[in-house]
A and B are shown apart, each in its own frame.
Chain A
Amino acid sequence: MSTIEGEKRIAGAAIEKVLDTSVRPDPPGPLANVLTFAWRGLLKIKHMPEQMFDAVITPVMFTVMFTYLFGGALAGSTEAYLQFLLPGILVQTVMFATIYTGFTLNTDLGKGVYDRFRSLPVWRLSPIMGAMVADLQRHTISAIIVFLIGLIMGFRPETGLLGMILVILLLDVFALGFTWIFVTVGLVVRSSSSVMTMSWFFLMPITFGSNIFVDTATMPQWLQTAIAFNPVAHLTTAARGILDGTVDASQIGLALIAPAVLTVIFAPLSLYLYSRKG
């Protein structure tokens, strides 16, 4: 792609005309700043829609492959397996997407643009919070896409639209909690490729060592015990429950313990690390 030339001569007088030190609107509050930074995140999706494609291609492949290859063997029929698998795939999608928050933050911090943000009279943490809000928007979009593909393939949630909305909300809250880990990693680790490696190292066992793909009842006892402590498994159970209409409050409560604990530990830590940077 070539660069744009064709520049008009810039007139010095025109520049003097746009300078005026007395025009200075009142500074907006922190919330307005966070929302503006979230808007920046949306603009990136607008300019690079292929990002969304990247985010959903893996889950879609998993869904198609597992449903048609193993569905019959694992659950008796492909329809029944899809019903079981799709909530888990949603969880996996959102979990993998949280890596990108740390990754993009790490790349962004290395560029001059964060220097500009930090020299502006805005709440210091608003760029980071804005990025997190933008990522929630991104997670929501990916979840909707995965739902749509599931519906096309024949997925039918008992609780209908309301169930799907509740699951997306639950996923967002859960993702927000986990994102703090990757924000911290993104702030501490030097290169973005090591952010990726470290995050995968952490995410692989907790997503695959769970009940996303198969019912734990068929697993050896020690693995069942381990999975009982896996927060991803609790989230998957809760998501399935919501979509089947069999959920109870304790399942949702169990799913929310991990994000709450992670937020309490990693939010202050990463905010401290960020404000100390430079």
Chain B
Amino acid sequence: MSGAVRRCAVGQVGATIAGGLNQAVNIETNQSEGSCVEGVERTAYLGCFGERTQHAMTTSDQAVETHGLRKLYGGKPAVDGIDLMIPKGSIFGLLGPNGAGKTTTVRMLATLARPDGGEARVLGHDLVREAAALRRRIALTGQFASVDEDLSGQENLVLIGRLLGFSRKGARARAEELLEAFGIADAANKQAKSYSGGMRRRLDIASSLVTTPELLFLDEPTTGLDPRSRNQVWDIIRRLTAAGTTVLLTTQYLEEADQLADRIAVIDHGRMIAEGTSTELKASVGAGALHVRLAEPGRREAAQTILEKALGVTVEFDSEPRRLNAMVPDDASAGHALAALADAGIAVSDFSLGQPSLDEVFFALTGHHTETETPVAAEAVSKEAAQ
């Protein structure tokens, strides 16, 4: 069984992943003999969804189950057959570059856009036929601030409370509670347009929690926030599962998905190109991205040979003439590799070992880089303006 699945993964994802996959197996083996087979299987599911969904499509402990979910805009697929399984009570990360189809997926699951194909059950409800019942149990914090900027923070929350059926008094009490917990109490009576980006985002999330939803959609909750505000939002998201809420968040940053999500799906051009836990994903990609800058550009070929030998993975030339990049299987091997360079007398001016960027994940999974250049971004902007 594991052999068959593994071949499938290698076949789909391409040769680049094969090296990573083998290392993932090695890591698991090193860590614990007993879980070796399981490790192989779970890793191998990356990029191999067809089989996976066939096995598990019937269980009801899933907050979201989709099969072949599709949405077309002007005849072109924005979401092109996505299979998701999101266990209740977990945080699920949808990772993808601009135009990948994250927002479209979320909007469909939150009953704002009608799917053009595929099946989807959210909290056991059919997306189209049982939309009204579903709306009582979900909440959405959209990509573009879904607060009313002309109203104060307090009024925003009271408005939602009244719409959800709280009495005037009850809605005010609930608003006060939330404002306090989210650190907005001091600015409760100021118009939301005067809030900082971080505060606005927190108000936005608080608006989704006026009644605690069973499933919460957060579309790029930290895009555009400074590091401190981002950390605050991360804190909030981690706490959301305390009451049993399932969270589906979208992001463009691997680090964010890694920090928050129990499982991650990587999507591009409306298709899912990988799915698994953060450990599985990174195992297939490499534990970290090693960037080395040489003192002399002339030694780059020699350095490449030495690094490839020490790391056992492909080492690429950067567009900058003195730099080399590689995905390393584990942190220790990066140390060995740098030592090998020093032994060979190749001077390194600086190096870094960090989380792979989304682009590096993409490259490792698909063999091509993300296309986040201007055309896609421009499209997204004009789309926003048009709505």
Contacts and interface: CB of A to CB of B under 8 A. Distances in A.
Given A16-B239, A25-B166, A7 B112 contact: no
A4 B194 CA distance: 6
A116 B199 contact: no
B209 A120 contact: no
A74 to B, nearest CB: 42
A10 interface: yes
B110 interface: yes
B235 A112 contact: no
B242 A44 contact: no
> Which of A6, A16, A115 has the largest number of chain B CB atoms within 10 A?
A115
A55 B238 CA distance: 48
A120 B135 CA distance: 6
B332 interface: no
Those 10 A-B pairs whose CB atoms lie nearest each other, nearest first: A112-B146, A19-B243, A25-B165, A116-B146, A112-B144, A10-B183, A112-B142, A121-B135, A121-B136, A119-B140
Interface residues of B, number: 70
B163 to A, nearest CB: 5
A3 interface: yes
Contact of B183 (A8, A28, A110, A118): A8
A94 to B, nearest CB: 23
B239 to A, nearest CB: 5
A18 B178 contact: yes
Contact of A120 (B107, B163, B167, B180): B163
Contacts of B211: 21, 23-25
B111 interface: yes
Interface of A: 1, 3-12, 14-21, 23-28, 32-33, 36-37, 39-40, 43-44, 47-48, 109-113, 115-122, 190-191, 278
Contacts of A43: 150-151, 155
A19 B212 contact: yes
B225 interface: no
6 contacts: A10-B232, A21-B214, A27-B164, A121-B135, A121-B136, A122-B163
Contacts of A118: 111-112
A12 B164 contact: no
Interface of A is mostly: loop
B196 A5 contact: yes
A191 B386 CA distance: 7
Contacts of A11: 181
A70 to B, nearest CB: 39
A78 to B, nearest CB: 41
A278 B113 contact: yes
Contacts of A8: 183, 186
Given A19-B240, A21-B213, A23-B211, 6 more contacts: A6-B186, A20-B212, A24-B211, A47-B191, A112-B142, A120-B163
A225 to B, nearest CB: 43
Given A1-B194, A119-B138, A278-B114, A21 B165 contact: no
B190 A120 contact: no
B202 interface: yes
Contact of B199 (A4, A16, A19): A4
A119 B136 contact: no
Interface string B229-241: 0001001101110
B343 interface: no
Given A4-B194, A5-B196, A14-B180, A19 B242 contact: yes
A1 B150 CA distance: 14
Contacts of A121: 132, 135-136, 164
A27 B165 contact: yes
Interface string B141-161: 111111110111001000110
